[in-house]
Amino acid sequence: MKLNRWIIWAIALQLILIIATSFMFNNKKSTTTSEESVRGTALSIWVYSEGLETSINEFHQTYPNIDVDVRYFRSSDHLFTELMAAISANAAPQLAEIKSFYGIAQLVDAGAVLPVDNLSIPEWKKLQPTFTEPFHYSDLDWAVPIGGSIPMLYYREELPKNSQKGSFTGWGEVSNAAMETNLVGNDGGIKGHWGIAIDKELPWYLDSLNVKENHGETEEYGKFNSAISMWGEWVHNLNIMKPITHRRAASDFINGKIGLFLSTSEQLMTVERYIGGKFQYNAQLLPGLEQQGIVPSIDGMIVLNPTPTKVKAANSFISYMISDTTQNALWRSNGLIPSRSDVLLKLQEEGQWNASQKMILDSVRMFSAKKPAKMDFERWSYTQSMLEQLEQDTNHAKEKYFEEEYETWLRK
């Protein structure tokens, strides 16, 4: 009887040991799996802004458990084209940068992007409404704005000599300044004009040309007709803008080959750095833009339907990019206008900015929000192609055709 009792106790003890061992093993396995899940979280991020590289590296140092795989693109339209192809191939990244000009409607309609409401972004209420509006579609927000920029006219300081205000008040004055001679040969003959150049994002700059003449047409279409006519006149009649040279426009201005340069406010830091003391220059808002309203270029981040673990990592990245520290740094190092209202207000209150920087920060009061539409990317691509064709048409005979075709496209 005693022996049977000992056998029963031995069996019970063995069962207890087996259960305890099993519990410890499973608990350790669960903990290890959880740790590996956090440690192994990887984010694939596609961006076109080179200025984000420093912030991305600093994010990785702050969150070492999140591995960041970054792919850089030469332009926003190149990224968007590749992104649509990657979505079709089920190979999209978890995060991607997007321009406010186009893309959000197409991505939403394709069911590829996660709405902001599904994310955890406590800083969302601090963002400027004019920065979030271009990403608001079908009653939801689909991208988190990181920052923005405005179109600006850079020019050699000696050129607006005929303007009473010391800056350009109209495009006629700009054209006259671009026709000023910059080189005189040994025989005293004129060798060239200072000229003008326009940066790469042609449709944005075309929309920003507030040319008042409308030749009896409606204001909207008359403005575009006049802007297109002036564009063609610069290239073909006045010979002050070389055709299809937009990708080298910045370097031509910095190297003193041209006198006037239409570009983004983000270029200000680059222009200051590389011109140094070679010559004196200035920058201003485009003529007439204060009356028309400024449509800014806004860079946003979208999340493309990742797993729950990657959504948390994406939240961490976006929150880092719109933190007050990062927003402040993006302005100081890259000239990106903060998307956060509180950060912008603090910067505006600082008294250390030069005239151009102060003008950029104060320009927010003139911002005009652009709502997204389904045909945005097609319209952007069409306008880009149309302007390039116009510049290459040596006899300028097709100008009216382009104007009429553009009007037809706008009415779609």
Q: What rounded mean pLDDT belongs to the chain?
A: 85
Average pLDDT of span 101-110? 96
Secondary structure (DSSP) of 136-156 = EETTEE--EEEEEE-EEEEEE
Residue 195 has pLDDT above 70, yes or no: yes
Q: In the structure, what pLDDT confidence band is assigned to residue 146 with cuts at 50, 70 and 90? A: very high
d(CA 215, CA 365): 31
DSSP state of 100: T
For position 181, what pLDDT does the model report? 87
Lowest-pLDDT range of 136-150, 260-274, 320-334, 390-404: 390-404
Percentage of the chain beyond pLDDT 70 is 80
For position 57, what pLDDT does the model report? 94
Which one is predicted more confidently, 42 or 300? Answer: 300
For position 370, what pLDDT does the model report? 87
Average pLDDT of span 372-387? 93
Q: Residues 58-99: pLDDT tens digits?
A: 999 999 999 999 999 999 999 999 999 999 999 999 999 999
Of 155, 227, 161, 141, the C-alpha closest to 195 is 155
Q: In the structure, what pLDDT confidence band is assigned to residue 216 with cuts at 50, 70 and 90? A: very low
Residue 189 has pLDDT above 50, yes or no: no
Residue 31 has pLDDT above 50, yes or no: no
For position 25, what pLDDT does the model report? 43
Which of 40-44, 341-345, 392-396 is modeled with the greatest confidence? 341-345
Residue 28 has pLDDT above 70, yes or no: no
For position 78, what pLDDT does the model report? 96
Helix axes 324-334, 341-349, angle to 10 degrees: 50
Q: Other C-beta atoms within 10 Å of 85: how many?
A: 11
75: Cβ–Cβ under 8 A, 6 or more apart, which residues? Answer: 48, 200
